[in-house]
């Protein structure tokens, strides 16, 4: 008789083992957990029907649970009820890792890691862009940004953000 193999799985943060939250100078870096995240892409000719279910689909913005994520694609951080037959819906909940960067100096950190014009980036604005040489998404918050990256790059994003935070803080101390 063969041996039985039982595997028990448990959820692990993409930032497991990384120092979080981090405070440096006036900045703060913390993990953001999004319990659900669905990719929604209307089928051809179905955009109006999708808007009938979800409301106005923002372009380059966030509107409540709807986050623009590319040409004719949105993330939905709620139940995707009512989209059967009118949109391709894919559960992305385990695919993305998100960090919130807030506090005085966040714009200088973003400018070091992304080609975005950090001085003009505002709350609720969304950009699919390069973040520390990786494809990511940047979402404007009231006093900072949410940075999203594919889960497998989470520790790399953390490393680059902490390094940039330390550099910005050091430069501000030197210029005093």
Determine the Cα angle at 133 with ends 109 and 163, to 5°: 40
Written out in words, the top-level CATH class of the domain with range 22-34+94-174 is alpha beta
Instruction: Classify residue 119 by its DSSP letter.
Output: G
- pTM, two decimal places: 0.88
Residue ranges per structural domain of the chain = 22-34+94-174, 38-91
Tokens of 81: 């009820």
155 near 20, Cβ under 8 Å?
Answer: no
Q: What is the pLDDT along the chain (176 residues), one digit of tens a residue?
A: 678 888 888 888 999 999 999 999 999 999 998 789 999 999 999 999 999 999 999 999 999 899 999 989 999 999 899 999 999 999 998 999 999 999 999 999 999 999 999 999 999 999 999 999 999 999 999 999 999 999 999 999 999 999 999 999 999 888 77
Instruction: Classify residue 24 by its DSSP letter.
Output: E
């Amino acid at each position: 008789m063969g041996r039985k193999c039982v595997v028990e799985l448990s959820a692990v943060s993409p930032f497991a083992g990384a120092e979080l939250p981090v405070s440096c100078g006036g900045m703060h870096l913390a993990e953001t957990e999004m319990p659900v995240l669905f990719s929604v892409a209307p089928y051809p000719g179905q955009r109006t029907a999708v808007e009938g279910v979800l409301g106005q689909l923002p372009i380059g913005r966030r509107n409540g649970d709807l986050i623009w994520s590319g040409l004719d694609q949105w993330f939905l951080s709620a139940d995707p009820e009512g989209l059967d037959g009118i949109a391709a819906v894919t559960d992305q909940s385990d695919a993305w890792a998100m960090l919130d960067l807030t506090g005085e100096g966040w714009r200088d950190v973003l400018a070091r890691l992304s080609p975005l014009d950090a001085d003009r980036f505002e709350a609720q604005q969304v950009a699919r862009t390069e973040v520390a040489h990786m494809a990511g998404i940047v979402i404007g918050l009231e006093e900072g940004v949410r940075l999203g990256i594919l889960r497998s790059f989470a520790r790399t994003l953390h490393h680059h953000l902490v390094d940039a935070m330390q550099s910005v803080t050091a430069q501000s101390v030197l210029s005093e």
